[in-house]
Each structure stands twice: as structure tokens, then as C-alpha cells.
Amino acid sequence: MISEKMAAAFNKQIKDEMYSSNLYLSMVAYFEEIGLKGFASWMRVQVQEETAHAMGLFDYLLSRDGRVVIDAIDKPAYEWSSALDCFEAVYKHEQLVTSLINNLIDVAEQEKDRAAVSFLQWYLKEQVEEEANCSEICAKLKLIGDDKHALLLIDSELAARTFVAPTIA
């Protein structure tokens, strides 16, 4: 059985992961609107990943006899000035998510919930990868500046990404 404090922390993280999913869905729309289908495709994979992350937390909470409480999700941003501006927002958001996962682990450690600490290690590792991927794309976008040909090459590269359902813990 999971503690009430731990269950509340998991419920908050489920909400935060679903916000991430909605934010990336908003970015799908942005990239579709400006004609960067590869960027939109990359973001669609992000939507699927964030939803899978939320469901992993959801299922874990249920497996520990915790109560899942679905809370309202804030409206995400929907306007960016460029692909770089959008990806800088993604990178900043992923850094925030990393801090949220760290806070969740802090609660698990305070509650002496070793099972939760172990479970959450997968999420922490995933965040390291997420930040690295976003940082790399931001660096490429900064490097190309206003070169539209290079932007289209990156668009083509990002279109190749496919969703692979995560094996969470």
C-alpha cells in the first residue's frame, strides 16, 4: 500500500505528464501550420511518449492500491516565433520535468518508499535522454540560423523518428 502523500505526489506527476502531452500536441499543430511536417511528426512521437509516461505512473499507483485522482490540465502555449523558439521551449520544459521527477523521488525517499524510488529511476534516466535530444536539436537549429535549406534537411531527419512504446521499470 502506498502512502497518501506518495499517492498525491504520483497524481500530481500524472497531471504534469498529461500537460506535457498536451503541450507537445500544441506544438504538432504549430509545426503543421508552418509546413514543417517532420518537426510535427517528431512532436507526435513526444505526445505518445508523454502519454505513455503518464500511464506508467497511473498503472504503478493502481498496482500499489493507491487512488488515482484525475485533475484538470492547464492550457498549453500555442504560439512560437520559430522552430528554434519552439525547441528552446521544449528543452526548458524537459528541464522542468526533470526537476519534477527529482521532487517525486525526494518524496519517495522521505516516505521511505523504496519501491517507488526504484520505479522512478527509469523516469530519471528517461529525462536525461529527453534533455540530451532536445539540446542537440536546439544546437543544430542555432547552427543553421536562417538557412531554409538546412531547416528542411533537419525537418526530413526528424520525420524519421518513430514511436517505440517504453518498457517502464
DSSP codes joined into one string, 58-118: HHHHHHTTPPP-----PPPP---SSHHHHHHHHHHHHHHHHHHHHHHHHHHHHTT-HHHHH
On whether the CB atoms of residues 51 and 167 are closer than 8 A, the answer is no
pLDDT at 150 over 70: yes
Q: What is the mean pLDDT of the chain?
A: 97
**Assessment of whether the complete model's pTM goes beyond 0.75:** yes
The confidence score (pLDDT) of residue 169 equals 62
Confidence band (pLDDT; 50, 70, 90) for 106? very high
- Reading the block at residue 73, the C-alpha cell is 490540465
User: Could you tell me the residue ranges of all domains in the chain?
Assistant: 4-159
> If one looks up domain 4-159 in CATH, what number appears?
1.20.1260.10
What digits encode the pLDDT tens for the residues 20-73? 999 999 999 999 999 999 999 999 999 999 999 999 999 999 999 999 999 999
